[in-house]
């Protein structure tokens, strides 16, 4: 009897271990989730490689990201007061052609090309700019029309960088003018800025803005408060610029991952010990969120669970607690995630544990991956886990009712028809009078004969597309499926569904 009892105990232990291992990879599949990836130029991955090779590289990345489940690309188009698009204000980027001011050959417009490539894959395109940085450390030669040469009085140098001085009002206006030009010429879905406001502090160096403080700092007894106000004013002005021109364009910010340390702010700080947005970058991110000046926030939580100075678990819980007044997405470092073991299960890297923290955080509505090249190389099967588990089914974008909460009308004239290359389901756009009534994308759901029609179940989403048709897999015409087509507007408000039964 004792042997039988011990055998039962051993079998129970094995069962518990198998269940625990399985649970580590189980996930729910929310219907709405921001699934972004950053594509940066500043690391030089495109510098001087030529039009054909850059396009081939981007197509390869976009195809893989689409398979993984990514639904938004954040594409860097302005790294140092330059441009990866034709601009009448700023020179072509050296990170595109190898020399600042030199146009690409054969000629093309990377921003317009990326918009088209993303949209035909059902992805959003968010144009990413670095607002204040005017020259990186690696840039040795500037184009004649670059702002550092045209207006040196509006620039300060710091640790090898050139910075548009945030304390000079003309610089705020200048950046807004650049963004206004992008908005008027390009059909972008979002405008994105990252964590470069005042420069990252270097020991022994002070910011050379005493003169500007004496001119513009009236009313501020503290230069740090004045610096924060400069950045506040810029964020507010940029937000108003964006939504005045195109109300549907989402303004997103990706701040450094620590707002304040608890030792500096006992009432609100996180249990961390690192660089702070508020105190050292002069970025009062919570103020921007709570005042509605930004539409989404992506704190860069690039550390691992258990990091001594900046624990990922502590930080995701902090941001979830304090930054829920606007959609909150988490910036994830792919390589650091797979290089570190789960403290609770050393056999696994940290993706499953981090994902569980996402699920437990009610205000976290998505993820942005740093960075696209790392993702597609699939270290630690990171991309495979997204494709086969966490992001197995397509997802709609999170809602932003503070911009628009009215759904469009449902699609019209849903039909099937044969074409030369196969059998298609087609539909027409609903009628609309203004931008917030117009259908921008469509969601196609499919249900087998024995399945309940439930459009809240993401597993039935066949595709999210900008097209007005989808190719069907026709077999013998003996099985009747029900398709439901809904329309999405610019803010992903979803219409009622239009049903169509189809024999395949």
Q: What is the pLDDT of residue 474?
A: 87
The verdict on 246 and 102 lying in the same domain is yes
Q: At residue 467, does pLDDT exceed 90?
A: yes
If one counts the domains in the chain, the total is 2
pTM, whole model, 2 decimals? 0.93
CA distance 130 to 76: 8
The verdict on 222 and 367 lying in the same domain is yes
pLDDT, tens digit, 9 for 90 and up, residues 9-20: 333 333 333 333
Q: What is the pLDDT of residue 4?
A: 40
The verdict on 117 and 178 lying in the same domain is yes
Residue 4 falls within a domain, yes or no? Answer: no
Q: What is the pLDDT of residue 12?
A: 36
pLDDT band at 337 (very low <50, low <70, confident <90, very high): very high
- Among 340, 356, 389, the domain boundary falls at 389
Residues in CB range of 381: below 8 A, 6 or more apart: none
pLDDT, tens digit, 9 for 90 and up, residues 84-126: 999 999 999 999 999 999 999 999 999 999 999 999 999 999 9
The verdict on 380 and 418 lying in the same domain is no
Could you tell me if 305 and 259 are in contact, meaning their C-beta atoms sit under 8 angstroms apart? no
pLDDT, tens digit, 9 for 90 and up, residues 398-424: 999 999 999 999 999 999 999 999 999
Q: At residue 165, does pLDDT exceed 90?
A: yes
- Among 389, 422, 450, the domain boundary falls at 389
The verdict on 346 and 239 lying in the same domain is yes
The verdict on 381 and 430 lying in the same domain is no
Residue 303 falls within a domain, yes or no? Answer: yes
**Helices assigned H by DSSP within 42-119:** 51-68, 94-97, 110-119
Taking residues 34-51, report their average pLDDT: 96
CA distance 148 to 166: 14
CATH at 419:
2.60.40.10
Could you tell me if 498 and 414 are in contact, meaning their C-beta atoms sit under 8 angstroms apart? yes
pLDDT band at 6 (very low <50, low <70, confident <90, very high): very low
The verdict on 439 and 332 lying in the same domain is no
Q: At residue 364, does pLDDT exceed 60?
A: yes
The verdict on 277 and 372 lying in the same domain is yes
Residue 95: which domain range? 34-389
3-class secondary structure, 423: strand
DSSP letters along 134-196, please?
EE-TT-----TT-HHHH-GGGEEEETTEEEE-TTSHHHHHHHHHHHHHHHHH---SEEEE-S-
pLDDT, tens digit, 9 for 90 and up, residues 184-224: 999 999 999 999 999 999 999 999 999 999 999 998 999 99
Residue 326 falls within a domain, yes or no? Answer: yes
Residue with tokens 């364009």: 249
DSSP letters along 81-96, please?
S-BSS--SSSPBPHHH
Residue 27 falls within a domain, yes or no? Answer: no
3-class secondary structure, 356: helix
Residue 477 falls within a domain, yes or no? Answer: yes
pLDDT, tens digit, 9 for 90 and up, residues 233-260: 999 999 999 999 999 999 999 999 999 9
Per-chain mean pLDDT for the chain: 93
Taking each helix axis from N to C end, the angle separating 351-360 and 312-322, rounded to the nearest 10 degrees, works out to: 20
Q: What is the pLDDT of residue 475?
A: 83
Q: What is the pLDDT of residue 27?
A: 61
Q: What is the pLDDT of residue 13?
A: 35
CATH at 306:
3.20.20.80
CA distance 387 to 352: 14
**What share of the chain has pLDDT > 90, as a percent?**
92
The verdict on 294 and 378 lying in the same domain is yes
Residue 1 falls within a domain, yes or no? Answer: no
pLDDT band at 477 (very low <50, low <70, confident <90, very high): confident
The verdict on 57 and 193 lying in the same domain is yes
The verdict on 417 and 385 lying in the same domain is no
Residue 167 falls within a domain, yes or no? Answer: yes
Q: What is the pLDDT of residue 8?
A: 44
CA distance 352 to 355: 5
Residues in CB range of 116: below 8 A, 6 or more apart: none
Could you tell me if 396 and 65 are in contact, meaning their C-beta atoms sit under 8 angstroms apart? no
Residue 119 falls within a domain, yes or no? Answer: yes
The token pair at 334 is 């792919």
The verdict on 365 and 438 lying in the same domain is no
pLDDT, tens digit, 9 for 90 and up, residues 295-318: 999 999 999 999 999 999 999 999
Q: What is the pLDDT of residue 21?
A: 37
């Amino acid at each position: 009897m004792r042997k039988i009892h011990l055998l039962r105990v051993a079998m129970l232990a094995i069962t518990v271990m198998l269940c625990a291992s399985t649970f580590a990879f189980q996930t729910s599949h929310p219907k709405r989730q921001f699934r972004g990836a950053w594509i940066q130029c500043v690391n030089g991955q495109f510098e001087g490689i030529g039009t054909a090779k850059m396009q081939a590289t981007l197509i390869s990345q976009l195809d893989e990201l689409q398979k993984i489940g990514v639904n938004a690309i954040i594409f860097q188009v302005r790294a140092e007061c330059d441009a990866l698009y034709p601009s009448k204000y700023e020179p072509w980027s050296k990170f595109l052609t190898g020399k600042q001011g030199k146009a690409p050959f054969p000629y093309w417009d990377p921003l317009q090309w990326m918009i088209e490539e993303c949209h035909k894959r059902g992805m959003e395109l968010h144009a990413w700019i670095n607002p204040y940085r005017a020259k990186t450390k690696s840039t040795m030669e500037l184009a004649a029309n670059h702002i550092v040469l045209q207006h040196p009085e509006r620039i300060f140098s710091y640790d090898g960088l050139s910075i548009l001085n945030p304390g000079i009002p003309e610089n705020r206006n200048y950046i807004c003018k650049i963004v206004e030009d992008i908005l008027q010429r390009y059909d972008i879905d979002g405008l994105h800025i990252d964590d470069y406001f005042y420069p990252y502090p270097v020991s022994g160096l002070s910011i050379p803005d005493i003169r500007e403080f004496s001119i513009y700092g009236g009313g501020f007894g503290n230069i740090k408060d004045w610096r924060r106000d400069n950045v506040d004013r810029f964020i507010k002005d940029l937000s108003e610029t964006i939504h005045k021109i195109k109300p549907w364009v989402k303004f997103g910010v990706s701040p450094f991952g620590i707002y304040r340390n608890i030792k500096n702010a006992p009432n609100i700080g996180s249990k961390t010990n690192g660089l702070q947005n508020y105190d050292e970058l002069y970025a009062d991110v919570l103020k921007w969120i709570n005042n509605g000046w930004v539409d989404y926030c992506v704190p860069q939580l690039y550390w691992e669970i258990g990091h001594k100075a900046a624990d990922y678990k502590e930080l995701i819980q902090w941001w979830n607690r304090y930054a829920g007044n606007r959609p909150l997405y988490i910036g994830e470092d792919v390589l650091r995630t797979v290089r570190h073991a789960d403290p609770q299960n050393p056999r696994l890297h940290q993706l499953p544990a981090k994902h569980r923290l996402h699920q437990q955080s009610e205000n976290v509505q998505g993820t942005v991956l740093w960075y696209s090249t790392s993702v597609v190389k699939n270290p630690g099967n990171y991309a495979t886990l997204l494709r086969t588990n966490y992001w197995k089914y397509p997802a709609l974008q999170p809602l932003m009712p503070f911009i628009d909460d009215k759904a469009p009308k449902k699609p019209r004239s849903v039909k099937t028809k044969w074409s030369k290359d196969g059998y298609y389901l087609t539909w027409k756009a609903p009628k609309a009078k203004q931008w917030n009534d117009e259908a921008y994308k469509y969601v196609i759901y499919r249900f087998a004969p024995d399945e309940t029609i439930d459009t809240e179940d993401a597993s039935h989403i066949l595709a999210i597309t900008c097209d007005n048709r989808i190719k069907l897999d026709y077999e013998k015409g003996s099985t009747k499926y029900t398709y439901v087509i809904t329309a999405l507007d610019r803010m992903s408000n979803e219409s009622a569904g239009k049903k169509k039964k189809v024999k395949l």
